[in-house]
Amino acid sequence: MEEKEKKEEKKHVCSICGKPSELTICHACEDKIRGEAVEKKHEIDKAGRTDSGRR
Ligand SMILES: [Zn+2]
């Protein structure tokens, strides 16, 4: 019984939402992060275009 508890403690969890996951970041959070990154990229792209205007 003790072993079982230890195993559960060692279980991997998502470092973002803390839900049990084999991955460091579960798919749900990965998607979320990816979406945010894309949004940020868009903002940077927008700002860059407005700012530099070189090309
Ligand atoms: Zn997660």
Q: The domain containing residue 37 runs over which residues? A: 27-55
- Report CA(41)–ligand 1 centroid distance (Å): 22
Number of domains composing the chain: 1
Q: Kindly report, residue by residue over 1-52, the tens digit of the pLDDT.
A: 666 655 555 678 999 999 999 999 999 999 999 999 888 888 888 887 766 6
Instruction: Tell me the pTM.
Output: 0.53
Distance (Å) of CA 46 to CA 32, 35, 39, 41, 55: 21, 17, 11, 8, 14
- Report CA(28)–ligand 1 centroid distance (Å): 6
Within-domain flag for 33? yes
Buried b (16+ CB within 10 A) or exposed e, 11-46: eeebeeeeeebeeeebeebeeeeeeeeeeeeeeeee
Q: Which amino acid is at 23?
A: L
- Report CA(30)–ligand 1 centroid distance (Å): 7
Within-domain flag for 22? no
Within-domain flag for 8? no
